[in-house]
A and B are shown apart, each in its own frame.
Chain A
Amino acid sequence: MKVEEDDLQPAVIGALGIAGLFALILLQVPIGFAMMTVGVVGFALEGGGWMPAFSFLAQEPSYVLSSTDLAAVPLFLLMGVFASMAGFSEDVYRAAAAFIGHRRGGLAYATISGSAAFGAICGSSTATAATFGKVALPQMLARGYSPAFSTGVIAAGGTLKSLIPPSLVMIIYCVVAKTFILDMFVAAIVPALITIAFNLVAIAIVVRLRPQIAPVSARLPWKERLDAAWRAAPSLALLIGVFLGIYSGVFTVNEAASAAAILALLFALARRRLTWEGLVRGMYEAGSVTAMLYLILMAAPIFTYFINLAHVPDALVHWIDGHHFPPLGVIFTLTAVYILLGTFFEEMSSILITLPLILPIIVNLGYDPLWWGVICLIQVEMALIHPPMGIIVFLLHAIAPKISMGTIYRGVVPFLLADFAVLIILILLPGIVLWLPHALVH
């Protein structure tokens, strides 16, 4: 009986800590600072003492700040800044539109393909959606595409970034879950291709059912197509260079990020698109996003340490084991919880807050952390466009205020359904995610 009481106390403190974390977040404390507060106070109350608890505020952040793996995050953000300045998004979109724009829904296919390609050389989903909102939306509307369909396609294209390496969410997941970044990049390839294919199929079905929302336009002569392809060549070279460099093992992720940032900067300089003002603005905006991400990354291990010390993950694992829940039932329940959390929380925070609790359950059920990472990324994708907090929907509404939020949300429905279908397939068939990393390892 005494042992049970001793076991109970840390678990109760852990549960109170989690409740405290959500209370602080609801009281509008920035999530990173809320995690640090709960981690430090919880550790001290668990008997660790105040001074050792305070020491976490330097020990853990110093590891995160000096991580050379994580240094890829600001470098990929800078690559995105310079790639946008160099006009890569316009080039990629125009090349895709030149080749397939004349088909019914061709500009929509071009937007998805262009977003996927640009997403690979841009660090952020919102930046990809914002750029295509400015580049593709006016062209689609001018050619008679419906506003709902056009914005839906652009929003869906923006979300692809989360699943296309090198994705920042992927890097951050790997650091927190302690998995290899390169393995994650490899594991995401097949799911990313499936997601792109499902988005293209969604377009095909929508334009077949309602052809009036995406009129056919004139076919461009071959000279113009080749000109567009030539113009897009540097961005495609950068994309292929980064991919080949990372996957062939020539570059580490950090070296690839360095090369990508510098090459994108050189392209922007060579094209005379780089202004001093734009450079400074781009850099401090990238700095702001970097700091935002690092704050949560510095806070996550402090919070995780407290949660682990309170044996909360163990208690959850034992509870699930004790009830003999079917693994698929647990996974679908967790997926539903994440989708629910995604309606209130910024997508990356919901993963980082819950990962210390959820990952032990996933591993105990016999699943691979790489697979769960991909599932999380698809949930992140969906959270970017599903109501009521679809950040990309807000963004597109800001770019095109005449198109109502309701119209944009209506437009994203086919793509949400496509993402949902991919999610269910990958949950039911984890081998789709894992065969490529396993094949490459063996």
Chain B
Amino acid sequence: MNVLPNGEYGGTIAAMVRIDWATKVLARALAVLGLGALLCFAAMTIADGLLRFFFASPIDVVRDAGALVAAFAVACCLPVAIVERSNITIRFLSSIAGPRTGRMADVAAAILVEIILVLMTWQFVIFANQARLTGTATWMLRIPAAPVWAAVALILGISAVMQIVVGIKTLHGDYLGGHPTSAE
């Protein structure tokens, strides 16, 4: 396993531990960013309701940009589910066929997930490009949709890269987890 005599990791493993730690931090930061944006938008939604009710003066951007903010906010959460492997999985095979078979299935599943994420990224790049070419925008303030879909494509791309790390961890039986200090 490339473990140094003092219990720390060396070489490639040390690098992988750092990458694993960085992916976790990045994924969590993205989730906080996305939900933070959604919370800000929720505050604006309340302000819009109050202004509409008391002064008949709504905040146009709230109704206009809701769908785009939601898309960005939720897409920001996708990497954290990849990194923390919180997507719903039935671990029936591991329990009946043993951990070795279970891990082989996990590796195969990780490859399939990677393929789907790469395909999704590719398709969202096309989707964003089409939105740019057709000038898709919100109906009232004409906020362009393409940058949001490009951001979603970028986040999916990041998720695909993170899934590679998850796949390698799965292949090596999860011994790469931890904080980079363990590699120093």
* Binding between chains A and B: yes
At the interface, yes or no: A144 with Cβ under 8 Å from chain B? no
Known A33-B113, A33-B116, A75-B42; contact A288-B149, beta-carbon cutoff 8 A: no
Bound-state CA distance A261–B73 (Å) is 15
CB-CB under 8 A from A280, the residues of chain B are: 28, 32
Bound-state CA distance A63–B51 (Å) is 29
* Cβ-defined contact, B32 with A26, below 8 A: no
Nearest-CB residue, chain B, relative to A30: B87
CB-CB under 8 A from A24, the residues of chain B are: 109, 112
Bound-state CA distance A31–B45 (Å) is 34
Contacts of A36-77 to chain B: CB distance below 8 A: 36-37, 40, 54-55, 57-59, 61-62, 65-68, 70-71, 74-75
Known A26-B92, A283-B32, A287-B32; contact A57-B120, beta-carbon cutoff 8 A: yes
CB-CB under 8 A from A70, the residues of chain B are: 70, 74
At the interface, yes or no: B76 with Cβ under 8 Å from chain A? yes
CB-CB under 8 A from B86, the residues of chain A are: 288-289, 291-292
Q: Separation in Å of the B112 CB from the closest CB of chain A?
A: 6
Known A29-B112, A37-B112, A55-B123; contact A284-B80, beta-carbon cutoff 8 A: yes
Among the interface residues A254, A262, A346, A348, which one has the most CB atoms of the partner chain B within 10 A?
A: A262
- Could you give, for residues 162-181 of chain B, a 1 whenever the CB lies within 8 Å of some chain A CB and a 0 otherwise? 00000000000000000000
* Cβ-defined contact, A54 with B123, below 8 A: yes
Looking at chain B's contact residues, is the secondary structure mostly helix, strand, loop, or mixed? helix
- Could you give, for residues 234-248 of chain A, a 1 whenever the CB lies within 8 Å of some chain B CB and a 0 otherwise? 000000000000000
Among the interface residues B31, B69, B76, B93, which one has the most CB atoms of the partner chain A within 10 A?
A: B31
A295: contacting residue among B27, B87, B94, CB under 8 A: B87
CB-CB under 8 A from B127, the residues of chain A are: 58-59, 62
At the interface, yes or no: A265 with Cβ under 8 Å from chain B? yes
- Could you give, for residues 67-94 of chain B, a 1 whenever the CB lies within 8 Å of some chain A CB and a 0 otherwise? 1111101111111111010111111111
Q: Separation in Å of the B74 CB from the closest CB of chain A?
A: 5
* Cβ-defined contact, B75 with A288, below 8 A: no
Nearest-CB residue, chain B, relative to A346: B88
Q: Separation in Å of the A73 CB from the closest CB of chain B?
A: 9
* Cβ-defined contact, B80 with A288, below 8 A: yes
Bound-state CA distance A153–B136 (Å) is 53
Bound-state CA distance A253–B124 (Å) is 29
Nearest-CB residue, chain B, relative to A298: B120
- Could you give, for residues 115-156 of chain B, a 1 whenever the CB lies within 8 Å of some chain A CB and a 0 otherwise? 010011011101100000000000000000000010010000
* Cβ-defined contact, B45 with A258, below 8 A: yes
* Cβ-defined contact, A30 with B113, below 8 A: yes
* Cβ-defined contact, B88 with A296, below 8 A: yes
* Cβ-defined contact, A32 with B46, below 8 A: no
* Cβ-defined contact, B38 with A74, below 8 A: yes
Bound-state CA distance A303–B94 (Å) is 26
At the interface, yes or no: A349 with Cβ under 8 Å from chain B? yes
CB-defined A-B contacts under 8 Å, sample of 28? A25-B90, A27-B105, A27-B109, A28-B91, A30-B113, A31-B89, A33-B112, A55-B123, A58-B123, A62-B149, A67-B67, A68-B70, A74-B74, A78-B39, A255-B46, A258-B41, A262-B39, A283-B31, A283-B35, A284-B31, A287-B34, A287-B77, A290-B77, A291-B74, A291-B77, A295-B78, A344-B90, A344-B92
Q: A66-B70, A71-B70 are in contact. List 5 more A-B contacts (CB 8 A).
A: A33-B112, A58-B124, A61-B124, A254-B66, A295-B87
A binding-site residues for B, Cβ under 8 Å: 24-33, 36-37, 40, 54-55, 57-59, 61-62, 65-68, 70-71, 74-75, 78, 251, 254-255, 257-259, 261-262, 265, 280, 283-284, 286-292, 294-296, 344-346, 348-349
B binding-site residues for A, Cβ under 8 Å: 27-28, 30-32, 34-36, 38-39, 41-43, 45-46, 49, 66-71, 73-82, 84, 86-94, 102, 105-106, 108-109, 112-113, 116, 119-120, 122-124, 126-127, 149, 152
